[in-house]
Structures are given as structure tokens and as C-alpha cells.
A = this chain, B = another copy of it.
Amino acid sequence: MPLDFRVVGRDPGTRARLGRAQTDHGPFDTPAFMPVGTRASVKGMTPADLALAGARIVLANAFHLALRPGEQRVRELGGLHGFMAWPGPILTDSGGYQVFSLGGNVRIFDDRVVFRSPVDGTAVEIGPARAMEIQRALGADLVMAFDQCGSFPMERDEADLCVRRTLRWARISRDAPLDPHQAVLGIVQGGIHLDLRAECARQLVEMDFPAYAVGGLMVGEPQAEAMKVLAATLPSLPEDRLRYLMGVGLPEDIVLAVARGIDLFDCVIPTRHARNNHAFTSEGVLNLKNARFKDDRGPLDPQCPCYACRTFTRAYLAHLARENELLAPVLLTAHNVTFYQRLMQRIRETIAAGTFGELVADQRPPGTVSGE
């Protein structure tokens, strides 16, 4: 079995689970967070930096890599693991989200989507068969079914159509040839329509995927709506399979989703925030361009073991940020990824210790930014 997943502990007060996943490229403990390496690089971090930050699995994007440098080139260069020199587990997104987030100019057919390439404007076709072909060539351990990613708001009719397409494409994705080390995840869609979500989950479970994902959440709807969807969806998924919440999110979103039974996350927030000079810290999110940091001799986060926190003052990091020095996004990215990995470690430790409920109770309202 390409993905061996075991639930090894449970929180008594919530649906949070402690898990251990094993792939041909090594294990990772869950709940886990995947830094996003869209183009086979987590922006500004080397594989050594990622390992030091505590990341054990990373995400890359099949759609972007198929456009450039091309999936066959990646395959010939040793697959994604060899290409990006990341020996651990990798998950590739299928491209569904990217195709639909391109917005206009997307024509949807039963078996494929046609759109203009953002690279050169030529017409590009992608569908479940092609998405799986790309992902097979890239060689990630976990690959995603090709889905139609919903948006918010999405009327019931539209959501229903989205679910039906997603299910049709899920079956094609599941039956597509993959390499022996690869496992494909089915994706639950359905917007915030709870019955559609439950029905989508039920039908995917009938197809018996090795693991499942929840897509099209945190795309604009209130956090509470997203959590209702998780509560309505996850009980339909088998307890012994890994569950991945795509594209989420802020630390508080992650804690609440873990409490509802999610095992795996990815999000651009830690890395993108870093490039905008925002640092996640034990005091909240700090904007390093804020004037109050100009003379701050303290470390960025006294609780953080990352290189920036051990080496520099906030004043120096604020100087780098103001001067748009290359080192600012580099240091802040490593810091934010470290912060997220430490959050996941704390989640796992509290689940193991039976104190995860306290972590849930501690969550700040979403999006709180200090230092503005």
C-alpha cells in the first residue's frame, strides 16, 4: 500500500486524531502542515532549511510544473524528489484549483476544462486523465483527483453541478494508472451546502480512495460556515483514512479543523505573509514595517528556535524589511514555516497529552494582526 496511515491517538473532548502516515519516501506524523512549493521550491527555503524548520512533507503544483518546466522534464531529472532535492514525502495538487482560480476564459466540458495558458496565452486543455498523467510523471507520493473547485458564494444548483462533475472526474482519477508508490486522494466539494457535502463524501467513499480531501473551503465564507461543513462532512469519511483540508489556513483555522478531525493542511499564508514582512509569533502576527520595531532590541519571537530569532533583533529585521533587503523574506519565511511546524507539534503533543481542548479554547479571533 503506497500510503499507510494509522490513527495512533485521539483527543477525548474533540474529534482530533493523532496519526502516523508512511510513504515510500518516509513517514510524517499528523496533524501535519505542508509548506507550499508551487514551482518545486518553497520560496526562499532550501530542503535543508525545510527540514530544520520541522517540515516533513511539502506540496508542489502539478499545473504550474506541467506548464514549466514540463512534467516529462521533471521525470527525466529524477521526478520531483530528485528535481527539488527533497527526499521526503511530497503531495501534488492536481491543478483543479488553479484552473478555476484563473477566473474568466475557462470552458468546462464533461471530460475536460479548456482555458488560456497564463504563460503564453495558448489554449490549454486539462481534465482528470491529463491531470493524473502529469502527476504520475512528477512522481509525488500523494496525488490529488482532478476536481472542480467551488467558490463562494455558490448557489445550490451550481454546487450540485460542481459535485456531479467532481464525482465523475474522481472516478476517472481513481482509475488512472499511477506508479506503485503513489496514492490518489478523492476531494469532497459542495460549497456550504451540507447535504451536498455529505452526499459527495458518501459517493467518494464508495469509490474507496486511500485518503480523502476537503476542497473549496475557506474561499470567502465565514470561518463558522467552514467549520459546519467539516462537522457535516467528516463523519461520512472512514475513520482509518487520512483527511486533508486543502488550502487552509490561519493558525486558528487549523486548530479548529483539527478539532473536527482533519489530519493534513497546506497553505501559502506562512510563506506569503513572510514576503509581506508579516511574522507569526507567540504575540500574534507582527508587521515588521511598523514603526514600533525600529528600536526593538528583542528577538522576533522569544519562544522560537529559528535562526532569525536566535541571531537578530526585531530592529535589524525591521531595517531589512524597510530596505526591501533579500534577506528579509528569506529569514521571515523560515521563521513562519518554523512557527507553523511548531504549532503542529504542539497540536500533536496536546492531543497525545489529552490537553488539546485547552489549545482550542485559547484561539484568538481569526485574522488578528498586532502591531498595525
Contacts and interface: CB of A to CB of B under 8 A. Distances in A.
Interface in A62-105: 68-69, 73, 76-77, 83-85
A163 B294 CA distance: 40
A311 B49 CA distance: 13
B46 A307 contact: yes
Interface in A263-318: 275, 294-295, 297, 307, 311-313, 315-316
Nearest to A297: B77
Interface stretch (A177-185, A245-253, A321-329, A357-365): A321-329
A69 B323 CA distance: 9
Contact of A39 (B45, B77, B319, B331): B319
B319 A69 contact: yes
A371 interface: no
A76 B295 contact: yes
B326 A43 contact: yes
Interface in A32-61: 39-41, 43-48
A330 interface: yes
Contact of A327 (B46, B313, B319): B46
Contacts of A46: 307, 311, 327, 330-331
A331 B83 CA distance: 15
Contacts of A322: 68-69
Interface string A313-354: 101100110110111011101000000000000000000000
Interface centre among A48, A311, A312, A326 (most CB of B within 10 A): A326
Contacts of A84: 316
A297 B76 CA distance: 10
A82 to B, nearest CB: 8
Contacts of A45: 327
A186 B68 CA distance: 53
Nearest to A42: B327
Nearest to A40: B319
Interface of A: 39-41, 43-48, 68-69, 73, 76-77, 83-85, 275, 294-295, 297, 307, 311-313, 315-316, 319-320, 322-323, 325-327, 329-331, 333
Q: Which 9 A-B pairs have the closest CB atoms?
A: A44-B326, A43-B326, A41-B325, A39-B323, A85-B311, A41-B327, A69-B319, A77-B315, A83-B316
